[in-house]
Chain A
Amino acid sequence: MAILVVAAHDGKTVRANVANAVAAAGQMGSDVTVLVAGSNCDEAAKSAAAIQGVAKVLQADDAAYANWLAEDIAPLVVKLAPNYSHVVMAADSVGKNIAPRVAALLDVAQVSEAIQVVSPDTFVRPIYAGNAMATVQTADKVKVVTIRPTNFKAGATTGGSAAIEKIGGEGAKGLSSYVGAELSKSERPELTSAKIVVSGGRGLQSGENFKMLETLADKLGAGLGASRAAVDAGYVPNDYQVGQTGKVVAPDLYIAIGISGAIQHLAGMKDSKTIVAINKDEEAPIFQVADYGLVGDLFQIVPELTAAVEKK
Chain B
Amino acid sequence: MKVLVAVKRVIDYNVKIRVKADNTGVETANVKMSMNPFDEIAVEEAIRMKEKGAATEVIAFSAGPAQCQETIRTALAMGADRGILVQADGELQPLAVAKLLKAVVDKEQPGLVIVGKQAIDDDSNQTGQMLAALLGWAQGTFANKLNVADGSIEVKREVDGGLENIKIKMPAVITTDLRLNEPRYASLPNIMKAKKKPIETLAPDALGVDVAPRLKTLKVEEPPKRKAGIKVKTVAELVDKLKNEAGVI
Contact of A97 among B139, B216, B221 (CB under 8 A): B139
A122: interface (CB < 8 Å): yes
Could you tell me if A132 and B221 are in contact, using CB atoms closer than 8 angstroms? yes
Chain B residues near A212 (CB-CB < 8 A)? none
Q: Which of B17, B130, B214 contacts A132 (CB 8 A)?
A: B17
User: When chains A and B are docked, how far (Å) is the Cα of A231 from the Cα of B144?
Assistant: 12
Cβ-defined contact, A239 with B229, below 8 A: no
Question: CB-defined interface of A204-238 with B at 8 Å, one 1/0 digit per residue?
Answer: 00000000000000001000000010011000011
Assess the A196–B248 pair: CB atoms within 8 A. yes
A residues near B9, Cβ cutoff 8 Å: none
Question: A137 to chain B: which residues have CB within 8 Å?
Answer: 215-216, 218
Of A98, A126, A293, which one neighbours B232 at CB under 8 angstroms?
Answer: A293
Which among A100, A125, A293, A294 is the interface contact of B94 at CB below 8 angstroms? A100
Taking CB atoms, residues of chain A closer than 8 Å to B139 are 70-71, 97, 101, 176
**Chain A residues whose CB sits within 8 angstroms of the CB of B93 once the complex forms:** 109
Interface: B246 (CB within 8 A): yes
Contact status B169-A109, CB under 8 Å: no
Partner of B123, one of A99, A129, A140: A129
A96 and B123 contact, CB distance less than 8 A: no
Say how far B246's CB is from chain A's closest CB, in angstroms: 4
Instruction: Flag if A112 contacts B124 (CB, 8 Å).
Output: yes
Determine whether the beta carbon of B220 is less than 8 Å from that of A127: yes
Residue of A nearest to B249 (CB): A309
Contacts A135-B219, A176-B167, A182-B163 given; indicate if A128 touches B123 (C-beta within 8 A): yes
A-side interface residues toward B, CB under 8 Å?
Answer: 69-71, 74, 92-94, 96-105, 107-113, 122, 125-140, 174-184, 196, 220, 228, 231-232, 237-239, 244-245, 247, 252-253, 263-264, 270, 273-276, 282, 287-295, 301, 304-305, 308-310
Nearest chain A CB to B157 CB, angstrom units: 8
Q: Does A270 contact B121, Cβ atoms closer than 8 Å?
A: no
Within 8 A of A (CB), among B202-242: 214-223, 226, 228-236, 238-239, 241-242
B interface with A by C-beta (< 8 Å): 11, 13, 16-17, 19, 26, 38, 93-95, 98, 117-118, 120-134, 137-139, 141-142, 144, 154, 157-169, 177-179, 214-223, 226, 228-236, 238-239, 241-242, 246, 248-249
- 20 A–B contacts from the bound complex (CB under 8 Å): A96-B125, A99-B129, A105-B133, A109-B95, A110-B95, A111-B215, A128-B17, A132-B26, A132-B220, A176-B139, A179-B166, A180-B164, A196-B248, A244-B120, A253-B249, A270-B226, A274-B248, A275-B226, A291-B230, A294-B232
Residues of A within 8 Å of B238, CB to CB, are: 276, 292, 294, 305
Let me know if A289 and B160 touch, CB within 8 A: no
Listed residue (B19, B94, B95, B249) with the most chain A CB atoms within 10 angstroms of its CB: B249
Q: In the complex, which residues of chain B have a beta carbon less than 8 angstroms from the beta carbon of A295?
A: 231
Please list the 7 inter-chain residue pairs (A to B) with the smallest Cβ-Cβ separation, ordered nearest first.
Answer: A109-B214, A100-B129, A104-B130, A104-B133, A291-B229, A100-B126, A179-B165
Given A101-B133, A301-B235: A136 and B159 interface contact (C-beta under 8 Å):
no
14 new A-B contacts, CB < 8 A, other than A130-B223, A137-B216, A182-B162, are: A100-B126, A104-B130, A112-B123, A112-B125, A175-B168, A177-B166, A237-B163, A270-B226, A275-B226, A292-B241, A293-B229, A294-B232, A295-B231, A305-B235
Complex CA gap A125/B138 in Å reads 28
Which residue on chain A has the smallest CB distance to residue B161? Answer: A183
Complex contact B242–A100 (CB within 8 A): no
Main secondary structure of the interface of A (DSSP, over half): mixed
From B218, B232, B248, give the contact of A135 (CB < 8 A): B218
User: Which of A70, A177, A263 is close to B16, meaning CB atoms less than 8 Å apart?
Assistant: A263
Q: Is the CB of A239 within 8 A of B239?
A: no
Q: Chain B nearest CB: distance from A175 CB in Å?
A: 4
Minimal beta-carbon separation of A67 from chain B (angstroms): 8
What's the least CB distance linking B149 to chain A, in Å? Answer: 12
Are B161 and A181 closer than 8 Å at their CB atoms? Answer: yes
CA of A96 to CA of B19 in the docked complex: distance in angstroms?
26
